[in-house]
Amino acid sequence: MIAKEARVTSKGQVTIPKEIRERLELDAGTEIEFVLDDEGQITVHRKRSTMAELHALRDRLADHDIDLDEMRAASKRAWADQAGFES
Protein backbone atom coordinates (compact mmCIF):
# COMPACT_ATOMS: atom_id res chain seq x y z
CA MET A 1 0.00 0.00 0.00
CA ILE A 2 1.15 3.53 -0.73
CA ALA A 3 0.03 6.46 1.41
CA LYS A 4 0.95 9.98 0.30
CA GLU A 5 -0.32 13.45 1.13
CA ALA A 6 -1.25 16.25 -1.24
CA ARG A 7 -2.63 19.75 -0.88
CA VAL A 8 -5.68 21.17 -2.66
CA THR A 9 -4.90 24.43 -4.47
CA SER A 10 -7.14 27.50 -4.51
CA LYS A 11 -8.43 26.24 -7.87
CA GLY A 12 -9.42 22.88 -6.35
CA GLN A 13 -6.56 21.04 -8.03
CA VAL A 14 -4.49 18.26 -6.50
CA THR A 15 -1.14 17.02 -7.75
CA ILE A 16 -1.06 13.24 -7.65
CA PRO A 17 2.22 12.16 -6.05
CA LYS A 18 4.79 10.81 -8.51
CA GLU A 19 4.96 7.34 -6.94
CA ILE A 20 1.20 6.91 -7.31
CA ARG A 21 1.19 8.31 -10.88
CA GLU A 22 3.88 5.81 -11.81
CA ARG A 23 2.11 2.89 -10.12
CA LEU A 24 -1.16 3.69 -11.92
CA GLU A 25 0.69 4.55 -15.16
CA LEU A 26 -0.94 7.99 -15.29
CA ASP A 27 0.30 10.36 -17.97
CA ALA A 28 -0.91 13.85 -18.83
CA GLY A 29 -4.43 13.56 -20.22
CA THR A 30 -5.19 10.21 -18.58
CA GLU A 31 -8.71 10.20 -17.18
CA ILE A 32 -9.20 9.16 -13.58
CA GLU A 33 -12.33 8.51 -11.57
CA PHE A 34 -12.98 9.57 -7.98
CA VAL A 35 -15.41 7.44 -5.95
CA LEU A 36 -16.67 8.83 -2.63
CA ASP A 37 -18.28 6.24 -0.36
CA ASP A 38 -20.84 6.83 2.40
CA GLU A 39 -18.09 6.95 5.02
CA GLY A 40 -16.23 9.80 3.29
CA GLN A 41 -13.46 7.61 1.87
CA ILE A 42 -12.24 8.51 -1.61
CA THR A 43 -10.96 5.91 -4.02
CA VAL A 44 -9.15 6.99 -7.18
CA HIS A 45 -9.07 4.71 -10.22
CA ARG A 46 -7.56 5.03 -13.64
CA LYS A 47 -10.63 5.29 -15.85
CA ARG A 48 -10.74 2.49 -18.36
CA SER A 49 -12.05 3.00 -21.85
CA THR A 50 -15.29 1.33 -22.81
CA MET A 51 -13.39 -0.98 -25.16
CA ALA A 52 -11.00 -1.95 -22.37
CA GLU A 53 -13.98 -2.74 -20.15
CA LEU A 54 -15.55 -4.87 -22.89
CA HIS A 55 -12.29 -6.75 -23.42
CA ALA A 56 -12.00 -7.34 -19.67
CA LEU A 57 -15.56 -8.66 -19.58
CA ARG A 58 -14.85 -10.94 -22.54
CA ASP A 59 -11.75 -12.25 -20.79
CA ARG A 60 -13.70 -12.90 -17.57
CA LEU A 61 -16.40 -14.74 -19.52
CA ALA A 62 -13.74 -16.78 -21.31
CA ASP A 63 -12.73 -18.16 -17.91
CA HIS A 64 -16.16 -19.82 -17.70
CA ASP A 65 -17.81 -22.45 -19.84
CA ILE A 66 -20.18 -20.03 -21.61
CA ASP A 67 -21.22 -20.08 -25.25
CA LEU A 68 -20.87 -16.42 -26.23
CA ASP A 69 -22.81 -16.89 -29.48
CA GLU A 70 -25.75 -18.37 -27.57
CA MET A 71 -25.52 -15.58 -24.99
CA ARG A 72 -25.55 -13.00 -27.79
CA ALA A 73 -28.59 -14.66 -29.42
CA ALA A 74 -30.42 -14.84 -26.08
CA SER A 75 -29.70 -11.16 -25.50
CA LYS A 76 -31.10 -10.25 -28.92
CA ARG A 77 -34.23 -12.32 -28.24
CA ALA A 78 -34.71 -10.63 -24.86
CA TRP A 79 -34.35 -7.15 -26.38
CA ALA A 80 -36.76 -8.04 -29.18
CA ASP A 81 -39.29 -9.43 -26.69
CA GLN A 82 -39.01 -6.33 -24.52
CA ALA A 83 -39.48 -4.07 -27.55
CA GLY A 84 -42.48 -6.09 -28.73
CA PHE A 85 -40.82 -7.45 -31.87
CA GLU A 86 -40.81 -11.05 -32.97
CA SER A 87 -37.38 -12.63 -32.73
The answer to the question of residue 22 being in a domain is no
The answer as to whether 61 is a domain residue is yes
What is the mean predicted confidence (pLDDT) over 5-10?
96
> Is the pLDDT confidence value at 6 over 60?
yes
Tally of structural domains, the chain:
1
Res 52 pLDDT > 60: yes
What pLDDT, on the 0 to 100 scale, is given for residue 42? 92
15 is a domain residue: no
Q: Which domain holds residue 58?
A: 50-82
Dihedral angle of Cα 62, 67, 69, 74, to the nearest 10 degrees: -120
What's residue 7's pLDDT? Answer: 96
Can you give the pTM of this predicted structure? 0.50
- Helix residue spans in the chain (DSSP H): 18-24, 50-62, 68-83
Residue 76 falls inside a structural domain: yes
User: What pLDDT was estimated at residue 86?
Assistant: 62
